[in-house]
Amino acid sequence: MRNSMKFKAGALLVIRVGTGLLLVLWGGLRLVMPNAGPGLANKYYSGFLNASALQIAFGLAEVMIGVLVVLGLFLRFVYPAQALVLVLGAFMLWRYLLDPMGLYLLDRESSQILFFPSITVAGATLALLAFHDDDRWSFDELRSPRPAVLVR
């Protein structure tokens, strides 16, 4: 594997592990602190999916998707699921992304600069989808048969 291919595979591994662990952490928070999910949904997501039972189910799904992403298993299915969660989550925070400092859309007390990296997380997730075939350091890659390479 050429150096640039190794670098790309390593970069995709870092993105995959980072975004997958983010889902594990957020999902785990919903499972361990079931009252936190509805509060966050009400405050930042306009009450979207704020029922406690839905938050627990959503947390379990996030943990499962995150673990599979970190391991690199069933990526053809879990990358789109991860993108749905993380890109939709960023989209729901649009006011905080357009005005992270509370200068024109939000007041300073309700601004939240910590949501701004959601743009990067959403972009990283889309990059994983775009470069799925270059993600060489995954369990999916180990499970797939390699085509024979002709040496000249």
Residues 6-17 pLDDT 10s = 999 999 999 999
Burial tier of 62 (Cβ tally within 10 Å: 0-12, 13-18, 19+): buried
Query: pTM of the prediction?
Result: 0.85
* pLDDT score for 13: 97
Task: Look at residue 93 in the predicted model and tell me its pLDDT.
Answer: 86
Residue 51 has pLDDT above 80, yes or no: no
Write the pLDDT tens digit of every residue in 20-34.
999 999 999 989 887
Is the model's pLDDT at 148 over the cut of 60? no
Backbone angles phi, psi at 47, to 5 degrees: 80, 5
- Which amino acid, residue 117? P
- Is the pLDDT assigned to residue 45 strictly greater than 90? no
Query: Position 58: which residue type?
Result: F
Tell whether the model's pLDDT for residue 1 goes beyond 70: no
Query: Backbone dihedral region of 138: left (phi > 0), alpha (psi from -120 to 50 degrees) or beta?
Result: beta
pLDDT at 152: 52
Rounded-to-integer distance, Cα 54 and Cα 37, Å: 9
Per-residue model confidence (pLDDT) at position 118: 94
- For residue 90, give both structure tokens: 């960023």
Q: What are the residue ranges of helices labelled H in 33-99?
A: 36-44, 52-71, 75-92, 94-98
Q: How confident is the model at residue 99 (pLDDT cuts 50, 70, 90)?
A: very high
Q: Band of the pLDDT at 106, cuts 50, 70, 90?
A: confident
Strand locations in the chain (E) = none
Stretch 43-70: mean pLDDT, rounded?
84
Q: What is the pLDDT of residue 46?
A: 66
Rounded Cα gap, residues 90 and 103, in angstroms: 19
Task: Answer yes or no: is pLDDT of 105 > 90.
Answer: no
CA distance 150 to 152: 6
Q: Which of 18, 11, 12 is nearest to 86 (CA)?
A: 18
* Distance between CA atoms of residues 19 and 65, nearest Å: 10
